[in-house]
């Protein structure tokens, strides 16, 4: 679409913001599925709290993404998304908001990593997914809080304080399960091995990552990979678990190619707004 380099930078900023916002929303939604189903009350509350943090962070990011969209000239704005419902609204010249981005985009407009859309499966799989993502998120936000974009920096600074609790929670569970019974050890190791193939994508730079890193807005994600590995390794050591050895990595989410799980998740999450537009409760 845009050939003007300034427009292109705006588009990359939008994509970069959506990558983060979608990670937060989808991860938050997945964790919220445990609400009312936790194994014990304290853990049910813990996951609901963590889910709420993610959804709160997603809101801040979507508000910013919506303001970026609304600032793009009306002709280019028509081509930002491939989702019919959202485009109908944009083509009418209406301004969009955080809810439109969450509820009116289809799976092929989402930019979250595949890791966060993977189903909860069981406690071990949920812990494994959170452990990989929280470890990444903590390091990513630690750098991002120095972003040259003041809105992004403020959201990162705020979120980091919350992600600190998330990382502690998932790391403690890795240790508890790994250094627990023979069965809990085996099941968390199996979950870690199974979800490992989704971790490569965390460190794969998209065009938006590259452009935003060059502007001082984003993060050089290749630089945090080593720290991530070391952090994961040290917790796994304490948990008497092994770092998975698989080398083949699945990718696509950041380029809007998703696993079938995202479609089902969105169908449930977006149903009300699609069936009853503008409904509030």
**Residue 165 lies near other proteins (rule: CB under 8 A):** yes
Under the binding rule (CB under 8 A), the answer on residue 164 touching other proteins is yes
CB of 13 to other proteins, least distance (A): 18
What's the distance, CA 159 to chain centroid? 13
- Pick one of 154, 210, 229, 249: the residue that binds other proteins (CB under 8 A): 154
| Helix, strand, coil fractions of the chain, as percent rounded to 5 | 70, 0, 30
Q: How many helices (H) and strands (E) does the chain have?
A: 12, 0
Query: What binding mask, one character per residue, do residues 170-189 give for other proteins by CB under 8 A, x or -?
Result: -xx-----------------
Stretch 20-59: interaction string toward other proteins, x if CB under 8 A? ----------------------xx-xx-xxx-xxxxxx-x
Task: Answer yes or no: are the C-beta atoms of 21 and 65 closer than 8 Å.
Answer: yes
The yes or no reply on residue 155 touching other proteins (CB under 8 A) is yes
Q: Please, which residues have CB within 8 angstroms of residue 94's CB and are 6 or more apart in sequence?
A: none
CB of 73 to other proteins, least distance (A): 27
Residue 129's closest CA among 195, 214, 60? 195
The yes or no reply on residue 167 touching other proteins (CB under 8 A) is yes
Residues in binding contact with other proteins, number by CB under 8 A: 31
Minimum distance between the CB of residue 37 and other proteins, rounded to whole angstroms? Answer: 16
Q: Which CB atom, from 13 or from 141, has the smaller least distance to other proteins?
A: 141
- φ, ψ (nearest 5 deg) of residue 280: -130, 155
What is the spatial distance between Cα 30 and Cα 262, in angstroms, rounded to a whole number?
Answer: 10
Contact between 162 and other proteins per CB under 8 A: yes
Contacts of 18 (CB under 8 A, 6+ apart): 61, 65, 101, 110, 111
Is residue 269 involved in binding other proteins (CB under 8 A)? no
Among 3, 150, 182, 280, binds other proteins (CB under 8 A): 150
Q: Residue from 1, 88, 148, 161 that binds other proteins (CB under 8 A)?
A: 161
CB nearer other proteins, residue 73 or residue 148: 148
**Over the range 147-185, which residues count as b (16 or more CB within 10 Å of their CB) and which as e?**
bebebbeebbeebbebbeebbebbbebbbebbeeeeeeb
CB of 223 to other proteins, least distance (A): 21
- List residues near other proteins by CB under 8 A: 42-43, 45-46, 48-50, 52-57, 59-60, 150, 153-155, 157-159, 161-162, 164-165, 167-169, 171-172
């Amino acid at each position: 679409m845009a050939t003007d380099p300034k427009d292109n930078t705006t588009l990359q900023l939008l994509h970069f913001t959506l990558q983060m916002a979608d990670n937060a929303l989808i991860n938050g939604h997945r964790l919220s599925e445990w609400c009312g189903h936790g194994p014990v009350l304290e853990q049910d509350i813990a996951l609901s709290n963590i889910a709420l943090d993610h959804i709160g962070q997603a809101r801040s990011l979507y508000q910013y993404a919506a303001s970026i969209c609304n600032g793009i000239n009306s002709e280019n704005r028509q081509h930002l998304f491939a989702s019919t419902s959202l485009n109908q609204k944009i083509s009418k010249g209406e301004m969009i908001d955080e809810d439109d981005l969450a509820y009116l985009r289809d799976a092929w407009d989402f930019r979250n990593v595949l890791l966060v859309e993977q189903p909860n499966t069981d406690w071990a799989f949920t812990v494994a997914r959170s452990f990989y993502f929280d470890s990444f998120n903590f390091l990513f936000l630690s750098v991002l809080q120095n972003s040259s974009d003041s809105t992004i920096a403020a959201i990162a600074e705020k979120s980091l304080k919350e992600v600190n609790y998330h990382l502690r929670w998932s790391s403690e569970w890795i240790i508890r399960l790994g250094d627990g019974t023979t069965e809990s050890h085996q099941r968390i190791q199996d979950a870690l091995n199974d979800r490992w193939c989704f971790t490569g994508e965390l460190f794969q730079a998209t065009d938006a990552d590259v452009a935003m890193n060059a502007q001082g807005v984003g993060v050089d994600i290749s630089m945090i990979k080593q720290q991530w590995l070391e952090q994961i390794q040290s917790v796994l050591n304490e948990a008497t678990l092994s770092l998975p050895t698989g080398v083949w990595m699945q990718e696509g989410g950041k380029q809007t190619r998703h696993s079938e799980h995202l479609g089902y998740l969105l169908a449930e999450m977006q149903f009300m707004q699609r069936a009853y537009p503008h409904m509030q409760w």
